[in-house]
Amino acid sequence: MFGEKGRVGPRRWRLIATLYLAALVTTACGTANATRSAASESDHKTLVVEFDVTKSLTRQFRVEARDAVAAALPRLTHGDHGAIDIYVRKIDHSSGSDEAAVASYHVRGVHKCAENNPFDQACRNARIASVRSARAEAREIAAAIRRLNLPRGESGTVIRGGLAAAGEIFADEEGLKLLVVASDMRPSHASPPRPKVVLNGVHVILLFSCRQPIAVCQQRRSSWAAELSHDGAASVRILDAQQMTELFRG
């Protein structure tokens, strides 16, 4: 390895430099891959949508709420995002059980490139393809939601059962958690045992219908906002029938 007088020869220096650079590239690639994996996990989104199908709601509201959710769904795919898992459930007398499950969907996340290598054309091409794929999947899911048949229920409303079931879905999920509830938030007169509702870190959006006097509607809104916050919700936003088009904006 050493030439005369213990010095390293030129060829040996080039070999050492090449091996050193290769080690640096390997380390950088490993770090970049780890960064991409971590970012994808933290960017994951979970959306639970619960449609109240009981007779206290008009068919018009149920259809408009369903269409508002479908129209808003592609907004979740703007910009870089991780995988999106979507669960659609109904609120009726069986809200807390498996019978309330309507459908589930999945949107793949956007491929991310390491920020320290903006000239990686292969990665850029993969990212562009993943963006197109995710948006196409979101459009297909939106169309499927518009086609959902949600027959009217006649046997009462167990709203907190639906909230408890949503909380169990969110319990094992990472990233952004969104709960959309389309309802008049009027439980039936029956009083089943109250379930434990845990919505820690969940952003709740109520698509709210109320056909009673304004004072009654205001009291119900404030009461549910306080209860959901007590259950751990990170935020509570209430949109009335005329505001549903604002879902997932801003």
The whole-number pLDDT of residue 190 equals: 62
Alpha carbon of residue 222 to chain centroid = 25
The whole-number pLDDT of residue 123 equals: 87
The whole-number pLDDT of residue 197 equals: 96
7-56 residue pLDDT tens: 545 555 454 444 444 444 344 444 444 334 334 556 899 999 999 999 88
What would the two tokens of residue 146 be? 């518009």
pLDDT mean over 174-190: 89
pLDDT mean over 195-217: 96
Q: How far apart are CA 51 and CA 112, in angstroms?
A: 34
Residue 9 to residues 4, 20, 23, Cα–Cα distance (Å): 9, 17, 21
79-106 residue pLDDT tens: 888 999 999 999 998 888 999 999 999 9
Read off the pLDDT band of 111 (50, 70, 90). Answer: confident
With residue 233 as reference, give the H or E element that holds it: none
Q: How far apart are CA 9 and CA 30, in angstroms?
A: 32
Q: How far apart are CA 192 and CA 92, in angstroms?
A: 13
Q: How far apart are CA 71 and CA 180, in angstroms?
A: 14
pTM for this prediction: 0.81
SS3 26: helix
Residue 130 to residues 112, 124, 143, Cα–Cα distance (Å): 9, 10, 20
CATH of domain 44-246: 3.40.50.410
232 with 198: CB under 8 angstroms? yes
Q: How far apart are CA 88 and CA 202, in angstroms?
A: 16
Q: Is the pLDDT of residue 154 over 70?
A: yes
Reading across the β-sheet that carries 235-240, which strands appear in turn?
101-107, 84-91, 45-52, 176-183, 203-208, 235-240
Domain ranges of the chain: 7-38, 44-246
- Helical spans, DSSP H, in the chain: 10-42, 59-72, 121-146, 159-171, 214-230
Q: Is the pLDDT of residue 131 over 50?
A: yes
- According to the per-residue pLDDT averaged within each range, which of 59-63, 146-150, 177-181 is highest? 177-181
pLDDT mean over 214-230: 96
